[in-house]
Amino acid sequence: MTRTVAVIGLNAFNRAKLEALRGAEAITFHGILDPDELVYDVAGFDLAAALAKAETEIRAIDGGVDAIVGYMDFPVSTMLPLLCARFGTRTPTLESLLMCEHKYWSRLVQREVIPDNVPAFTAFDPFDPEALGRIGAAGIGFPFFVKPIKSSGARLGFRIDTPEDFAAAAERLRAENEVVSAPFNRILDHAELPDAVRRVNGHHCLAESIIGGHQCTVEGYVHDGEVTVYGIVDSVRYPHVISFFRYDYPSTLPERVQQRMRELAATVMRRTDVDNAPFNIEFFWDEALDRIWLLEINPRISESHCDLFEKVDGVSNQQVAIDLALGMKPRMPWREGAYTLAAKVFHRVFVADATVTRVPTQAEIDAVRARVPGTLVAVQVRERMRLSELPEQDSYSYAVAWIWLGAHSRAELLAKYRAVLDGLPFAFDEIASNAPAHPGGGDPPHA
């Protein structure tokens, strides 16, 4: 029997991954809402209109739907339980998802069950002139990190070393956080929240002690209350900034560290009450102190990791999301892919802003893929656009292209990356260079 699955924000890249899943021949995938409709803009995101349009599109599907899924961060991740409730399809509760996505609520929950793996933290209002003093009174001294209560991709996240740093960050947060905070608050209006959480809405921010080390992401799922981890992906940053250079799978962390992260993930996910849903949790391992820190929880698969799992294990992690939504225990294979390791590389520009004057042509991309088998390239910019028009960027750089690679050694992977870059010419003009400079002049760090 053919099953019907509505996929919020479905694009060509993810359709290809879905159609390669185990059992996909018996599933019809329907894209709901164009991905461009789900990206925030300066006017804000109209949640009610998006929900109404998604409902209309789903009701127009002949025979109805057996599941509704998504792979994107907010607003899709928290729209799903509202839509699923209208159609009677499987979904975690909105409150359980918000226990992960509302960064302050999530920290409160984490501190209950794994206090030794959570930094000191406090919420603050960036419009409060006494905010810095209140942060200090909460026991958080310089340096510390600030970020919105709800954000993604390190957007509006800042390291604070001085009062001047905090003043500059607070100014940015006041000016730019409304784009996400307003629609997030509309989601919060649908949820039953503890009083301590309701007082800290999307307009607030989080300050927390600096944590760091080897960063990775634990991917897993909860099925009928049982937590399973099926992969750990390393996150490699450019030196001295928060910008990601690449994601590597599988992780190279010691097995004892990986096992401890699996245990921590299981403990905290059981506390959130998320069930029959995927998750990914970002951790740091401080090697010098042999201490693990939990950075954040995302109650969804990581779209960035889809091709990595396909290259190494044989299918995308979309397998997990689809199987769970259809009421099945996920059928995720292990090491059945064509490569020993895989990576997603972020080709970045470390400037405050610039105008794009040249991007690689399709013929150049095709030539790169022919020369470097297994490569996928997704250019993120177009000619004549300003880099500042790119959504969901971190505070220090712009990712102008995403590059997925497969290899059988780290040396081979980095050699492939250099070969790909040689065939992908970008050019920029009107460069504003008052952003922190990348100390390598843009060259990838050694791994």
* pLDDT for the residue numbered 239: 82
Superfamily grouping for domain 120-209: ATP-grasp fold, A domain (3.30.1490.20)
* pLDDT for the residue numbered 156: 85
> Residue 323, SS3?
helix
* Per-domain residue ranges of the chain: 3-91, 120-209, 214-432
Q: Check if 3-91 and 120-209 are the same fold.
A: no
Indicate the Cα dihedral angle 215, 219, 221, 227, nearest 10°. -50
- Tell me the pLDDT tens digit for each residue of 7-36: 999 999 999 999 999 999 999 999 999 988
Q: Which residue from 102, 74, 119 is spatially nearest to 294, judged by alpha carbons? A: 119
* pLDDT for the residue numbered 130: 98
Q: At which residue do the structure tokens 């957007």 appear?
A: 155
Backbone angles phi, psi at 138, to 5 degrees: -80, 5
**E strands along 153-197, which residues?**
158-160
Tokens of 365: 């991309």
CATH topology of domain 3-91: Rossmann fold (3.40.50)
Distance CA 50, CA 38 (A): 8
* pLDDT for the residue numbered 238: 87
* pLDDT for the residue numbered 297: 97
* pLDDT for the residue numbered 152: 63
Query: For the chain, which residues score pLDDT lower than 50?
Result: 42-43, 435-447
Is the domain spanning 214-432 CATH 3.30.470.20? The answer is yes
- Tell me the pLDDT tens digit for each residue of 147-165: 999 976 567 889 999 999 9
